[in-house]
Structures are given as C-alpha cells and as structure tokens.
Structure 1
Amino acid sequence: MSFKIAIIGAGSVGFTKKLFTDILCVPEFKGIEFALTDVSEHNLQMIKAILDRIVEANKLPTKVTATTDRRKALEGARYVISCVRVGGLEAYADDIRIPLKYGIDQCVGDTICAGGILYGQRNIPVILDFCKDIREVAETDAKFLNYANPMAMNTWAAIEYGKVDTVGLCHGVQHGAEQIAEVLGAKSPRELDYVCSGINHQTWFIELRLNGREIGKDELVAAFEAHPVYSRQEKLRIDVLKRFGVYSTESNGHLSEYLPWYRKRPDEITRWIDMSDWIHGETGGYLRYSTETRNWFETEYPQFLEAASKPIDPSKRSNEHASHILEALETNRVYRGHFNVKNDGVITNLPQDAIVESPGFVDRFGINMAAGITLPEACAATCISSINVQRMSVHAAISGDIDLLKLAVLHDPLVGAVSTPEEVWQMVDEMVVAEAAWLPQYAHAVPAAKERLSKSSVKTREWAGAARRSVRSIEELRAEKAALKQAG
C-alpha cells in the first residue's frame, strides 16, 4: 500500500516513535510515507534521525520527511495525527502555578479544571488552523486522529467548527482494563471482556466479564483492596468504585481533579493520593514528569538513537488505537476499541452534542459506534457536569468571550468547590494575561484584564500545593534508574 500519514507535533519524540513503530507492524504499510511537522526544528530533526535509523535498521522502503511547514506536511495526507501541546511546558507551568494561588491543587490540569480549560483555549484556535489546512491540501475526506488534550474540547472543536472527519484517541480504557484483569487474577487482559462508556477521562466499566463470568461490584472492590500495590495507589478510585458501583478508567490523580470532593481541602488531599509516582495524585505531577522527561531525553539522546537500531518486534506493538484503526480501514481486518466521537445516540443519557468515549468497531466502512448505551445515573451526572464546562469552554475559545470563559471555569466541579466567584474572575484574568502569547482570540480583552488586576483586592497566596515534589536533576534520575535496575 502507498499513502501518506502526517504527524503534527511530531516533536513529541517518544510518542511519535511509538506510533511510527506500531504502524510499521502492519505488513501492508511498509511502503507508506510519514510526514513529520512541528514548530520546533530541533525536536523535529531529533525524531527524524531516530525514525530514519529505524527504517535503515529494518531495511524498509518507508519514506520519512520532516518540515516546519505544516501545509507541506499535510499535502496529500490520507491520515493526520495530532499530538501537540500548544504553549509547551512554559504555558503549562502557568496552568498549574496560577490556580494554586487561589487554592486549586491540580495533579495534571489538562482536561478540565482551571488548567485544562485554559489549555483548551490555547489549543482550539490551532486545531481549527489544522482543520483548515486538512480541508484545503490533504486527501479528500482525510481522517484526523486527535491524541492531544483536552481530548473532548479539541475533538468537539474539530468536528463542530473544523468540519473535518475527526476521532479522538486515548489509552485510559486500555490501562484500566489491564488493572482490572490483574486484580482479578487473569493470565492475560484478553480474558477480560468489557463495555466502557462515558466521556474521555471519565469513562466507566459498566459491564465486566472474565472468561464469560460476570464480575460484580463486591468482587471487584475486594480484588482491588486485596492488591498489594493498587490498594495503596488507587485509594480515591476505589472509593469512587464503592460509591458509584463501577470502576473509572482514569488514574487516581486524574480522577481526583475532575470531581469536587477529594482535592478541595488541602489537609485532606494526602489522604487520597499516593506519592510513589506522579500519576497517583501529586500536585503538578505531570508537569514535573514532563519536565524531567524532556531534560532526560535531551541529555540521553545518543542512547535513544542507538536503541532505534533494533529490529521492529510486532509482538511488542502497543495498544494505542491509531495503528489498529488504520489497519482496519485499509485492510478490512475488524478492530474493536473505544473512541471519542460526537454522541448522536451513542449514550442515551448524555447530551447529544457532547463528545463521548465509547465502544466501536472499525472496518473499511469506517468507525461504527455501538449505540443506545445507558450509563448508571451517578456516572451520567458526573459526566454531565464536565460536559457543561467543556461546551462553554469550546464556545469561549471560538468566540474569544472572556466572560463566558470565566463562567466555564466557575462551573468546573473542583474550582467551584474551592474558589469564590471573585477569585475565579481574577484568576482567569491572571491566566489570560500570563498566557496571552498563545491566546490570540483574547487579545482584545488583555488590556482590560490587566487594568482589573492592577486594582484588585482579592487576596492570593504563594503555595506549592499539598503534595509537591521538586524536579529531579539528571544525576538524580540516573541514580534512581540504576537503583531500580540493580533491585530488579
């Protein structure tokens, strides 16, 4: 087969490499073209060198190009994959730092909550630029595969306003299923059959069967509480399972910031989180992890390049959806997965305009969703709260309406549990001013926001958060990796 895949944000080096090797595990795809594009020439050249090394080591006819000219990369592309982070770690640091001044302690801050909403404001104008280019220069009816967060907001904007055939992709469902299979003693995750449905990062395992046997709430709770690791790392998630009756796909840290109950009192946050890894609830955990990963990659790049000389092993193909979707569309080998699409009847008790994450099947006719799923009432109520925030956030990003943006943040579950309206209004002004370089739609609102900030009497505090860790140096990371290797 011969077609072109464009990857926007290809400077996300590790993730781009994973997608690349996954796709080349499909025998029919050896001769396709990958067009890499990124705003960072430096990152682009690093990832191109790695992919070129993979192609050379495996004696493949695969073509790899790299350019900072996005339209050139998109010309004639049949598939476009986005894994961008608009504003990079600089803007992301403000997503975490500024809300802390108002008492809002986030672990990740990339989906909803104050950080996720502002992240969406930065991303959505760029997503619409992508869609314009796709419509104009890519293959007719090209498919846009969005991996970038905030998943629901980005996908919503691309479908509703970008008018491009878009699907949002995430790996939370797969990871949650692996956990459940492990605690239940399955020999392989393939023994577990499940229906998982909801919205991205708030998806729920509403049906579970292990080797055909139905698994109920009590058995699942007992299995998690008996697990020597997850009983400690997933305390909040297990508590939600006990109360809601179903397990959430999302990690302890992610889930904690989508709900109004667990991170609103600083003295209680540590009760629900675990500090063994960032994903279990650490304040600003993903920001720290991302910073360390960037620094590590820059320093250890020769090792990454050397590792690229190894043969591709199809048995190690990951469970990221992209390669499996492309294989199903191009070869008609049917694939079942969980995809982010516009609701339109997929889930009966969520708004029809929302972006939902639910089971679907892919073949040469496209992505075909299983329709008519009904969530448990508590799950639907939680999702609807987030959907309302997402909808206002998307509309604010499109219109540049700072008042609507403030209302979106005000209605966020965790923000509303922590902050007063006066605090929210000032916090949003501060975030818009700090991130103005990536918020062109709010340029008209920045002068007035600065004026309000100069006269504000709302008190803030300098606070690192309830559970903050410092960014580790390269030497500390090396020592930790060496200790783990010796222990293992």
Structure 2
Amino acid sequence: MNVYESVSNVKIAYIGGGSRGWAWGLMSDLAMEPQLSGHVKLYDVNLEAAQSNEKIGNRLSERKDVVGKWTYEAVQTLAEALEGADFVIISILPGTFHQMRSDVHLPEQYGIYQSVGDTVGPGGLIRALRTIPMYVEFAEAIKEYCPDAWVINFTNPMTLCVRTLYEVFPKIKAIGCCHEVFGTQKLLARMVEELQGDKQVHRAEIKVNVLGINHFTWIDKATYQGTDLMPLYDDFANKYYKEGYELSSAGHWMNSTFASAHRIHFDLFLKFGLIAAAGDRHLAEFMPLHWYLKNPETVKSWKFGLTTVEWRLENRDKLIETSKKLVSGEESVELKSTGEESIGMMKALLGLEDLITNVNMPNRGQMGGIKEGAVVETNAYFSADSVRPVLAGTLPPSINKMVVAHSYNQETILKAALEKDKKLAFSAFLNDPLVMIDVKSSSELFNQMLVNTKEYLPGWEL
C-alpha cells in the first residue's frame, strides 16, 4: 500500500559527488522525477569537482522543464555530508588512474589479460585491498552521523564494498546496485521481439530469478507475459553462438569499449544450461584465463574488447571539458533517464511505490549453497523503509562451485585487508582463476602491484 503521493525535503549524501558522468546522470534522473524533491550534499576528495557539480545541479534545477526540484551543496567533510541524511549514495573511483593502470595492465606483462579489472582477477583483488579501508571509514561515519539512512552503493568491487559496510556496521541498511542484469533483460527482450514477433518489448517486462554474486549472476527462470523463455533462449543461443548478436543500442562490439556480441553469454548457456546475467566483459574474468582471455586474439574471437586505461584517461579529459561547459552554461545537462533504478528504490523506501529488482545484500537464506553473511545478488522486494530479499533458490552444483570459490576468495581478501595481512592476500591472489602463472612470477606481480598502490595501504609492511 502506498502511503504518500510525493515526498519533499529528502536529504541525500553523495559520496563521490565530484563525479563527472554518474553525478550528472543522477541529477537528470532526479530532475525528471515529479514525486521527489530535496537537498543533495556533494562530498568528494576533489572539492573543486564537487563545487562544479553544485553549480551544474542548481542550474539544472532552475530550468522550467525540470519537475523534480533539488538544491545541491558541495561540502568539505564526510561528516557534513552525512549529518541527517535519509539516503547515502556512494559512487567513487578508489584511487587514481595511475593505480588502475597498474591493476589492468601490469598483469599483461605476465600474460594475464583483463577486460575490466575491477571485480576479480589480479586487478580486482588489488583494487579491493585499497577500497576496503575507504569503506571502513564510510561505515564508521554512517554509524555516527546517519545510522538509519539507506545506503546505495554503485562502486566496484561491488561485493566487497557492500560486505565491508556490513562487517564494520552490522546494522547498516545498505544495498549494492548494479545494472548488469538489466542488460541481459534487454537481450531477452530483443530475443522475444525476433523469435516471437512481439514489438517493443521493454526489459522490465522480462521477469527473471537472479542468483549469484555481482558480475557473476545467473538466471534460472525467465518469463514474458507468463511464457517460459528458457526454451526460447536455447534456440536463440544456438542460432547466434558462432556469429554473435548485436544489441543496436549498445553499438557494434568493435566500435565500443563496453559492447559485446554476447558470444560468452551463449557459450556459458550451452555449457551450463542457465543464462549468465552479466556482460561478457565481466563474465570472462570469472572463468579460467584460457577460456576467453588467453590473449588479445582470443578476446577478439569472442567478439568483446579489453577496456584500456588509456581509453578511460581520454574519456576523463573529455568529461573535464564537458564539466567546464556545463558550469559556464555553454552546455546544459540533457534530461535523459540513465536506466538505473536508484530513484525507484528511494521512492519505494519512502512509501511511494513497491519495487522488485536485483540487489547485492548479505545472504540471509535467500540463496542456498553459499554461506550466510556472504554478499550475494538476488532479487529483493522494496517497500516503505524495507528491503526484503526474495528467496532465489540454489544454483546447480556445476555453477555453484565456481560462485562459491570466488565468494570465499573475496572473504579472504576482506580479512586480509582488515588485518593488513600480506600473506593472506597473496593466497587469494594465487587462487584466482586468471592467475595461471608460476608461483615465483605470481609473487613478483603481486608485490609490484602492492607497491604501486601502497599509498592506499596504510599500516602494511611492503
């Protein structure tokens, strides 16, 4: 039952509020939502970037075509941002592009290629080691300044970010929000249009049961208007397995850093019988190195790409120029939905509507075959001040053993980060399926990667 028609004076703390891209997307989503209004405090280690976004957000709110009215304020401290917040949004870059270059590209000198490098693999694990201390600080501050706020995390590595928040502040009300499953729903929507002749199927009409961990999620049930889509997907996967399938909205895989031809989707379905529910770039990193990431030629044969840090640097420079134009008024924020569900989540938590969507939360029995407390990704039911995970079931043994192995490795990294235990961290590094090199080379790579991120590892003996 919905309690209100609208809610004003909502207080949002945005950690990472100097973001160029994500912040503007949130501003657009808020500006297009007529049922919410309030105040957003922008906190960022780059205060100047947050101050720019303050000007951009307030200018946007003054426009006549904007129905959601918000004021934006850049603040200097985390405490200022969090004091009295109803919601906390976390979207940060943990470290700099210098550290990211080491995460993604140093392993290439040892024959280890990564398509993203932010969740698992050598890059994801080292990124986690420097991210976890930041999230310890966030959790402690949230406990002190806004313990009843709902926390929505967008930062990767998603699983460990959310897991750290709960480890430090067990009563925190935090969820991890990821759009990868949405991409798979869009793929299924296009499949229905093509194979059944339906027109303009929206991804939200595709109902799915989600199980797994972030970026390694699986769908064991999918329906459209009551029709079971699993047999249809079998036909679809077999039809496009060799040549791949392009989603026109994403761009051709050869011309886009983030697009793929979904060949890994189809290959994993034919191998295991369930629909992998993340993008090919992420899925590849959870599997043994030689499957999809043996070398650039192998990657190309599977029709996806390696996201280079050089591309990210070039994109950053473009965004900085865009920021200047938005601040000066030379350009305006485009009112366009991001497709994220954070606004819908907030509306549901405020009692305006109900929502079921996939989220990352500690396992409290919603997923079998994986230990309690580990962060898993399943559907959850959102209502007034409540998020209740939906019972998702258990993955088949052939898939579950892979998911559990990664989950235990992530738990090991969490313990290593909290205890500053280099030996324990190295054991997790060795256990990752992308690290298929000898122990001596693994040790050399691990130590150099740690040195390259040492400024974010206070108290470690390196």
Per the TM alignment, residue 304 of structure 1 is displaced from its structure 2 partner at its CA by: 4.3
Q: Partner of 2:314 in structure 1?
A: 292
Question: Which of 84, 98, 103 in structure 2 is aligned with 1:95?
Answer: 103
Question: Which of 88, 98, 113 in structure 1 is aligned with 2:121?
Answer: 113
Give CA deviations for 1:263-320 in whole Å, capped at 9, x if unaligned. 453375235433xxxxx232xx1523322221111233355455864685xxx43331
Q: Partner of 2:447 in structure 1?
A: 429
Mapped to 2, the partners of 1:40 and 1:423 lie a distance apart of 37
- 1:352 and 2:372 are equivalent in the alignment: yes
Mapped to 2, the partners of 1:92 and 1:311 lie a distance apart of 29
Q: Partner of 2:407 in structure 1?
A: 387
Secondary structure at the residue paired with 1:173? helix
- 1:54 and 2:60 are equivalent in the alignment: yes
Mapped to 1, the partners of 2:244 and 2:433 lie a distance apart of 30
Secondary structure at the residue paired with 2:434? helix
Mapped to 2, the partners of 1:268 and 1:194 lie a distance apart of 34
Q: Partner of 1:192 in structure 2?
A: 206
Give CA deviations for 1:75-97 in whole Å, capped at 9, x if unaligned. 11111111111212111111012
Give CA deviations for 1:215-241 in whole Å, capped at 9, x if unaligned. 224223145447652697222222112
Per the TM alignment, residue 65 of structure 1 is displaced from its structure 2 partner at its CA by: 0.5
Give CA deviations for 1:78-129 in whole Å, capped at 9, x if unaligned. 1111111121211111101221222211111000111001111111101110
Secondary structure at the residue paired with 1:11? coil
Secondary structure at the residue paired with 2:398? helix
Question: Residue type matched to 1:49 in 2?
Answer: K
Q: Partner of 1:259 in structure 2?
A: 287
Q: Partner of 1:33 in structure 2?
A: 39
Mapped to 2, the partners of 1:177 and 1:18 lie a distance apart of 21
Q: Partner of 1:15 in structure 2?
A: 22
Secondary structure at the residue paired with 1:233? coil
Mapped to 1, the partners of 2:112 and 2:244 lie a distance apart of 31
Mapped to 2, the partners of 1:71 and 1:422 lie a distance apart of 45
Structure 1: gaps of 5 or more residues: 275-279, 447-488
Mapped to 2, the partners of 1:15 and 1:223 lie a distance apart of 36
Question: Residue type matched to 2:237 in 1?
Answer: V
Give CA deviations for 1:129-177 in whole Å, capped at 9, x if unaligned. 0111111122x41122111000001111111223322111110011111
Q: Partner of 1:413 in structure 2?
A: 433
* Percentage of identical aligned residues: 25
Q: Partner of 1:456 in structure 2?
A: none
Question: Residue type matched to 1:297 in 2?
Answer: L
Question: Residue type matched to 1:178 in 2?
Answer: K
Mapped to 2, the partners of 1:385 and 1:14 lie a distance apart of 34
Q: Partner of 1:229 in structure 2?
A: 246
Question: Which of 164, 169, 177 in structure 2 is aligned with 1:157?
Answer: 164
Question: Which of 205, 212, 219 in structure 1 is aligned with 2:235?
Answer: 219
More helix, by proportion: 1
Q: Bigger CA drift: 108-117 or 303-312?
A: 303-312
Structure 2: gaps of 5 or more residues: 1-7, 248-252, 254-259
Please tell me whether the aligned partners of residues 185 and 204 of structure 2 are also in contact (alpha carbons under 8 angstroms). Answer: no
Mapped to 1, the partners of 2:59 and 2:161 lie a distance apart of 33
Mapped to 1, the partners of 2:240 and 2:330 lie a distance apart of 36
Secondary structure at the residue paired with 2:62? helix
Question: Residue type matched to 2:270 in 1?
Answer: K
